[in-house]
Amino acid sequence: MVSSLIDIAQQTRQASQSLASMPTDVKNGAIAAIARSLNDSAAEILAANRADCLSAQALGISPSLFARLKLDEVKLASAIAGMEEVIRLPDPVGIVQLHRQLDTHLVLQRITCPLGVLGVIFEARPDAVMQITSLAIKSGNGVILKGGVEATQSCQALVLAIQRGLAQTNIDPKVIQLLTSREETLALLTLHDDVNLIIPRGSNSFVQFVQQNTSIPVLGHADGICHLYVDRAADIEQAVAIAVDSKVQYPSACNAIETLLVHGEIAPLFLPRLATALQLHGVELRLDKVGFSLLQGGGWQLKLAEESDWATEYGDLILAIRVVDSLEAALTHIQVYGSRHTEAIVTQDSQAAAIFRDRVDASGVFHNCSTRFADGFRYGFGAEVGISTQTLPPRGPVGLEGLVTYKYHLTGQGQVVSTYSGANAQPFHHRDL
């Protein structure tokens, strides 16, 4: 099993090496050929998905997982249209980031290049196959995919169609490979020599498992505990609208808020307005003692928050609420409980906003807008492979730009370092070109 996986990984690496230096039009042509092949294979793909859906229903999977697994004509067409969007994005490979003459005829360039091979492990979302494939090819990377077990037949039909499309181009179809067993997933995490980046997309516990079980760099995030802090100088109407959007617009998204912090001075005015608005959307409120006492008896359904609420990503129509006595206290709460994903402040006080922006350590720090904007499409990146909450770049929503690295090219005419060393060292002139 594992030895066959090593073969697959080495084939992917080899195929990706020739993909790496393909010109933009060849890569775009390949994505277009894949899109055509997916269109031609639509019936086959939808039949495979129906088989997956039937098995999944027989096993009683949750309605939300079923919704993600199900592929209909509209969803398939929209995923194929998304691939064509990627054709229009600029090629991230071959960008000269630095061009400097160190000395006469000794020229340094820093040029972007693909990472190599991506290992992408995702849940039962067959449409992810199409998005990831187009991003991988455009960025010149090979990709080893492992979909959720529920989506096996759908993924197989999709990858077959993709490979049929590639077979009509100059790109080796082996740049895309599909794994189907759980053992292979575990083995994939050990292939340092052939896999350059692991992208896990799934539950928090799954991402944590991946992070803890590989020494290959992992791109992504486990938790998404985002906060909205309503400052004492907030516009109350604006704060209510932002809180509602950040919580209810798509509660299971990682960029939805889990906890709202509100300054004590504005809480008596703000909280009743907020509670009324949120309960219209069926949001359960879990308040600290101060917040609870402010709303008690007003006719709202309330719960007292426990310590564990501050550390919980509900992913659901539940909001924890805490009254804080200062911006400083809000910053401390976010530092302790935040997951460095996206944090927002609502305030008309530009100094408070500046302090918040400087002090909060997160990939996104927002002022007077919804946390739900934290997304590659909304940022204008066209598509994203995920959102990273790690410290080092790439951070935040990661699009094509995060799927490349760079190398330094130095070109000379026989220069040696001894010329530039010692007592009579010739100086460098370091002139940017």
Tell whether residue 197 is a contact of its own copies (CB under 8 A): yes
Only segment of 35-43, 108-116, 159-167, 183-191 that touches its own copies (CB under 8 A): 108-116
Q: How far is the CA of 160 from the CAs of 40, 157, 273, in angstroms?
A: 12, 5, 54
Min dist. Cβ of residue 110 to its own copies (A):
8
In contact, 157 and 236? CB cutoff 8 Å: no
Interaction between residue 416 and its own copies (CB under 8 A): yes
- Site membership for its own copies, residue 300 (CB under 8 A): no
| List of residues 6+ apart from 130 with CB closer than 8 A | 38, 79, 80, 82, 83, 158, 162
Distance CA 125, CA 67 (A): 9
C-alpha 318/C-alpha 225 separation (Å) is 13
- Does 268 interact with its own copies (rule: CB under 8 A)? no
At its nearest, how many Å lie between its own copies and the CB of residue 264? Answer: 23
User: CA-CA distance, 169 to 162, in Å (whole number)?
Assistant: 11
279 binds its own copies (CB under 8 A): no
Among residues 130 and 244, whose Cβ is nearest to its own copies?
A: 244
Q: Is 72 in the site for its own copies (CB under 8 A)?
A: no
Binding residues for its own copies, rule CB under 8 A, total 70
Of 6, 42, 65, 108, the one binding its own copies (CB under 8 A) is 108
Closest to its own copies by CB, 180 or 335? 335
What phi and psi values does residue 7 have, to the nearest 5 degrees?
-60, -45
* Radius of gyration, CA atoms only, the chain: 25
67 binds its own copies (CB under 8 A): no
Any contact of residue 161 with its own copies (CB under 8 A)? no
Rule CB under 8 A: is residue 333 a binding residue for its own copies?
Answer: no
Q: Is 417 in the site for its own copies (CB under 8 A)?
A: yes
In the complex, minimum distance from the CB of residue 314 to its own copies, in angstroms, rounded to a whole number: 18
Question: DSSP characters for 292-361?
Answer: HHHHTTSS--EEE--GGGGG----SSEEEEEEESSHHHHHHHHHHH--SSEEEEE-S-HHHHHHHHHH--
List C-alpha distances in Å: 310 to 181, 209, 227, 287, 362: 37, 22, 10, 10, 17
One residue of 79, 115, 124, 302 binding its own copies per CB under 8 A? 115
| Separation between Cα atoms, residue 221 and residue 203, nearest integer Å | 10
Shortest approach of its own copies to residue 223 CB, angstroms? Answer: 14
Q: Is 332 in the site for its own copies (CB under 8 A)?
A: no
Is 75 a binding residue for its own copies by CB under 8 A? The answer is no
423 binds its own copies (CB under 8 A): no
Place of tokens 């309960």: 279
Residues 363-392 that bind its own copies (CB under 8 A): 363-370, 372-374, 378-380, 390-392
Part in contact with its own copies (CB under 8 A); list of ranges 127-135, 283-291, 310-318, 357-365 = 357-365
**Which of 292/310 has CB closer to its own copies?**
310
Residues 6+ apart with CB under 8 A from 252: 64, 315, 316
Task: Compare residues 46 and 406 and give the one whose CB is closer to its own copies.
Answer: 406
Does 252 contact its own copies by CB under 8 A? no
Residues 6+ apart with CB under 8 A from 166: 30, 33, 34, 172, 173, 175, 176
Q: Does 241 bind its own copies (CB under 8 A)?
A: yes
What does the binding site for its own copies look like in residue numbers (CB under 8 A)?
Answer: 17, 20-21, 100, 102, 106, 108, 110, 115-116, 196-197, 211-212, 215, 217, 235, 238, 241-242, 244-246, 249-250, 353, 357-359, 361-370, 372-374, 378-380, 390-393, 395-397, 405-418, 420-421, 428, 430
